[in-house]
Amino acid sequence: MALTEEQKLVTEVWRIVNRTYLDDTFNHQNWAAVRQKVLSAALTDQKAAYAAIGKMLKSLNDPFTRFLDPEQYRSLQVNTSGELTGVGLQIALDQQTGKLEVVTPISGSPAEKAGIRPRDRIVKIEGVSTENLTLDEAATRMRGPIGSLVTLLIERDGEGQKEFRVPRDRISLNPVVAELRTSPQGVPLGYIRLTQFNANAPMELAHAINNLEKKGAAAYILDLRNNPGGLLQAGIEVARLWLNSGTIVYTVNRQGIQGSFESFGPALTDDPLVVLVNQGTASASEILAGALQDNGRATLVGETTFGKGLIQSLFELSDGSGLAVTIAKYETPNHKDINKLGIKPDQIVASEPITREQIGTELDHQFQTALELLAKNSVVAAKAA
């Protein structure tokens, strides 16, 4: 008997997991029997198929092996590709009011050119109230073909509401924030915050380090706090920017086969480095932190990291939906398996509730500890002399 479209999709997912999933016991269950059970149920429409796939994957007890409907899959691709077509706004929901707020317009974007500012509130997008929209829904409504216009009703303190018609364009997502600071001892210091590992991260970080070197940076603080990770390859390439040599990470698949990624050098800088981590530092961020710690390249400050030592591969399914499957686990250069354990920093400093504006200021205790450590480092003192 021929399979229905819904049954074909379920079978497609089952086969991918059967072929690639890290745990060949499939969470100690008969994987073939799971498939039979799902196919024996009535899958009347796409929604039923998606629910059945979700249930099938849930039996693996792995939160990272998951089904993505077409919209979620497209959204993930946009985030990791580092490029989208839209107006160029970073947005957030204000925790107190629940209103949709502009964090910042991306530099050089149509939104910045139109005069939209940080802290502006987006009241309507194309006449639709943002009151009940999720962040994803709001972002999706602002994206669209290059050259098309989007109408935003903006509310600004002291100025009331104003309508902006903004053209959409190709926006490059830069996950790097970098600036030259001066330590209390007068040492020029490169402060770099990396927010995620998208396809642009290695190039943007290299650009930031080179700029800071030209400006005379004698030491660095790399801030990986609340960086959820992203592309494995981006994490490896970023590690290579800091390391002259050494193993970056080992990967182990279900056959127990170990692969490794090495650094070939030369590093862009040999200056002293402190890396800030916390419980939100995960995945590719932990690969980078582990590589820099185990190779003796950096001192880690903050809290034990999230503990996601599993590697996922993304598969596109026949109907435009997607599937993320855990295909391997990784170990740090010293063969530490960090899954569910995380990476312990060299110096533990608890996080405190601070706002986005207070990151990297006197109120940021983890940042202040990093400054103190670099001040004690005689190399920095010598360079500053």
Residues designated as active site? 283, 294, 308
CB-count burial class (<10 Å; 0-12, 13-18, 19+) for 145: exposed
If phi > 0 it is left, if psi is from -120 to 50 it is alpha, else beta; for residue 289 that is alpha
Six-digit token pair at 362?
């006197």
With a CB cutoff of 8 Å and minimum separation 6, the contacts of 271 are 190, 217, 218, 219, 220, 379, 383
- Give the closest residue to 240 by CA, choosing from 209, 267, 212: 267
Helix (H) or strand (E) holding 316: strand 310-316
b (16+ CB within 10 A) / e for 91-114: beeeeeeeebbbebbbeebbbbeb
DSSP code, position 271:
S
DSSP code, position 358:
G
Q: CA-CA distance, 256 to 160, in Å (whole number)?
A: 62
Q: With the C-alpha atoms ordered 107, 112, 113, 117, is the resulting torsion angle positive or negative? A: negative
Q: CA-CA distance, 308 to 329, in Å (whole number)?
A: 9
Q: Residue 164: CA atoms inside 13 Å, Cβ hemisphere, count?
A: 25
- Give the closest residue to 174 by CA, choosing from 192, 160, 189, 155: 192
Q: How many residues does the chain have?
A: 385
